[in-house]
Amino acid sequence: MTAEPAVKSPLPVDLHPERLPYHVAVIMDGNGRWAKQRGLPRVMGHRRGVDTLKQLLRRCSDWGIGALTAYAFSTENWGRPLEEVGFLMTLFERVLRQELTDMMAENVRIQFVGNLAGLPASLQTEIDRAVEQTRQNRGIRFTVATNYGGRQEILQACRAIATQVQAGVLQPEDIDENLFGRHLYTADLQDPDLLIRTSGEMRISNFLLWQLAYAEIYVTDTLWPDFDEGEFHRALQTYQGRDRRFGKVSS
């Protein structure tokens, strides 16, 4: 166990605590480019990216954000070179094992979304262990999207609902947004308020297609390994300057 609790970083004074997003989602993009710029193999960018995520989780927790969801591996990322995919799977497994003690100390509740059955068995074991051990924690909810695809998530929900209709336990008219949402991987999680994407790409790449319906989108050119506390602060400042109308008119 960590003997001393880490020093908490206070919320910057220009941010309003009552107007923070409850749920922040991040598309952690640009690891490969970060490494390439330094003449390093792509995987070194992934390694640095883990440190960035750890710092962001801590910052979110310190600043009173309720939930953080990070896109770690998409269903499309299997199309990358075998070597890179293998490195990532091993990295996820090792990081999970190493970080469990700190997550317990910091009261983090970790969970995973995606087609977990398609992951290597040894990674599934680490995932199960981390989820089980942190289940009772009441601090920040940390969700990792691994082997995650938004379309695939929607399809599995459709199949589950169709099966219930076929069995006669559900009527087609019972299917509403609420019921549908409860069949998604994110069933007990509020929709993201803020989506951050690094590395300047203006797309959502199959991430949380249903849940992002009214998220505020923030894109920065900064590559993920360089996304530090100052960058996150700027993202929150921008968020707090937005007028979230949800289709209505400003009040």
Contacting residues toward Mg ion, per CB under 5 A: 29
User: Of the residues 62, 77, 115, 191, which is catalytic?
Assistant: 77
Task: Compare residues 156 and 205 and give the one whose CB is closer to ligand IPE.
Answer: 205
By the criterion CB under 6 A, which residues form the site for ligand IPE? 27-33, 71-74, 77, 88, 199, 201, 203, 205
User: Of the residues 29, 31, 147, 193, which is catalytic?
Assistant: 29
Q: Extract the tokens encoding 16.
A: 């309003």
- Residue 17 carries which DSSP code? G
Q: Write the DSSP assignment of 121-135 as a string of letters.
A: HHHHHHHHHHHHHHT
CB 29, min distance to ligand IPE, A: 5
Q: Which does 67 bind (CB under 5 to 8 A by kind): Mg ion, ligand IPE, none?
A: none
CB 73, min distance to ligand IPE, A: 5
CB 30, min distance to ligand IPE, A: 4
Q: Contact 214/246 with Cβ under 8 angstroms? A: yes
CA dihedral for 109, 113, 119, 124, sign (positive or negative): positive
Task: Compare residues 29 and 106 and give the one whose CB is closer to Mg ion.
Answer: 29
SS (H, E, C) 148-203: ECHHHHHHHHHHHHHHHHHCCCCCHHHCCHHHHHHCCCCCCCCCCCEEEECCCCCC
Q: Which does 74 bind (CB under 5 to 8 A by kind): ligand IPE, Mg ion, none?
A: ligand IPE
Beta bridge pairs of residue 142: 68, 110
178 is catalytic: no
Q: Extract the tokens encoding 105.
A: 């100390």
CB 33, min distance to Mg ion, A: 8
228 is catalytic: no
Supply the residues annotated as catalytic.
Answer: 29, 77
